[in-house]
Structure 1
Amino acid sequence: MLSHDDITLLLTVLEFRNISRAAGALYMSQSSMSKRIQDIEKYLGYEIFIRRPGQKTLEITKKGAELFPLLSQIDRLNKEARNIRDSEEKKILNIASSDGPYMLAIDDAVMDLYKKSPNWLFKLKNMSYSECVNAVAENIVDIAFIGNHIYRKNLNIVPMYREKMVFVCMPHAPYPEVINPQMLDVSKGIYSPYSSEFSSWFYSTFKRRCLIQCDLISEVKRFIYELNLWSIVPASVAADLAESFQVSVHPLNEDVPYRVIYYAVRRGENVEATEELLECIRERLRDKEGIDIFPRGTAF
Structure 2
Amino acid sequence: MKLEDIEAFCNVVDQGSITKAADIMYVTQGAVSKRIKTLEEELGVQLIIRRSGMRKVELTAYGEEFLVLARQWQALSNEFHGISASSGIHEITIGSVDMLNCFSFSDLYNQILREEKDIRLYMHTMHSREIYAAMEAQRLDLGMVNRLLPSKRLKITRLFTEEMYIVIYPCGKQGETIDPDDLDPGKEIYSRWSDEFEIWHDQLWPGKRYRMHAGTSSMVPYYLTEPGQWSICPASAVSGMMSRFHFESLKLSVKVPERTFYLLEHRSPRESRTETIERFKKIMYAYLKEHKPQL
- 2:191 equivalent in structure 1: 192
- 2:241 equivalent in structure 1: 241
- SS in structure 2 at match of 1:286: helix
The 5-angstrom pairing of residues 157-168 of structure 1 reads 157-168=156-167
- 2:277 equivalent in structure 1: 274
Check whether the contact 1:98–1:126 (CA below 8 A) recurs between aligned residues. Answer: yes
- Residues 290 and 64 from structure 1, CA distance in 2 versus in 1: closer, same or farther, beyond 3 angstroms? closer
CA distance in 1, matches of 2:246, 2:174: 15
- Which runs of 5 or more structure 2 residues have no equivalent in the other structure? 5-27, 39-72
- Residues 69 and 100 from structure 1, CA distance in 2 versus in 1: closer, same or farther, beyond 3 angstroms? farther
Q: Normalising by the residue count of structure 2, what TM-score does the alignment of the two structures yield?
A: 0.67
Shift of 1:187: 1.3
- Residues 110 and 174 from structure 1, CA distance in 2 versus in 1: closer, same or farther, beyond 3 angstroms? closer
Q: Deviations over 1:256-275 (max 9, x none)?
A: 11100101111254933223
- Which runs of 5 or more structure 1 residues have no equivalent in the other structure? 8-59, 293-300
CA distance in 1, matches of 2:227, 2:189: 10
Check whether the contact 2:93–2:121 (CA below 8 A) recurs between aligned residues. Answer: yes
The 5-angstrom pairing of residues 78-89 of structure 1 reads 81=80, 84=83, 86-89=85-88
- The CA RMSD over aligned residues, in Å, is 3.7
Q: Please, which moves more after superposition, 244-253 or 101-110?
A: 101-110
Shift of 1:288: 4.3
Aligned length: 234
Which amino acid is 2:89 matched to?
K
Which amino acid is 1:66 matched to?
K
CA distance in 2, matches of 1:162, 1:118: 30
Shift of 1:89: 3.7
- 2:146 equivalent in structure 1: 147
Q: Deviations over 1:211-261 (max 9, x none)?
A: 310122232111113575101110011111111112110111121111001
CA distance in 2, matches of 1:69, 1:253: 56
- Residues 245 and 80 from structure 1, CA distance in 2 versus in 1: closer, same or farther, beyond 3 angstroms? farther
Aligned pair 1:66/2:34, yes or no? yes
- 1:253 equivalent in structure 2: 253
The 5-angstrom pairing of residues 170-189 of structure 1 reads 170-172=169-171, 177-189=176-188
- SS in structure 1 at match of 2:207: coil
CA distance in 2, matches of 1:268, 1:277: 17
Shift of 1:127: 0.5
CA distance in 2, matches of 1:106, 1:118: 18
- Residues 198 and 288 from structure 1, CA distance in 2 versus in 1: closer, same or farther, beyond 3 angstroms? farther
Check whether the contact 1:235–1:289 (CA below 8 A) recurs between aligned residues. Answer: no
- Residues 251 and 138 from structure 1, CA distance in 2 versus in 1: closer, same or farther, beyond 3 angstroms? same
Q: Deviations over 1:174-231 (max 9, x none)?
A: 7892111244221111111122222221112211212310122232111113575101
- Residues 158 and 291 from structure 1, CA distance in 2 versus in 1: closer, same or farther, beyond 3 angstroms? farther
Q: 2:289 aligns with which of 286, 291, 295?
A: 286
Which amino acid is 1:151 matched to?
P
CA distance in 2, matches of 1:122, 1:289: 23
Aligned pair 1:118/2:86, yes or no? no
CA distance in 2, matches of 1:63, 1:144: 26
- Residues 175 and 118 from structure 1, CA distance in 2 versus in 1: closer, same or farther, beyond 3 angstroms? closer
> Which entry has the higher C-alpha Rg, 1 or 2?
1
- Residues 172 and 69 from structure 1, CA distance in 2 versus in 1: closer, same or farther, beyond 3 angstroms? farther
- SS in structure 2 at match of 1:225: coil
Check whether the contact 1:105–1:284 (CA below 8 A) recurs between aligned residues. Answer: no
- Residues 137 and 167 from structure 1, CA distance in 2 versus in 1: closer, same or farther, beyond 3 angstroms? same
Q: Normalising by the residue count of structure 1, what TM-score does the alignment of the two structures yield?
A: 0.66
Which amino acid is 2:248 matched to?
S
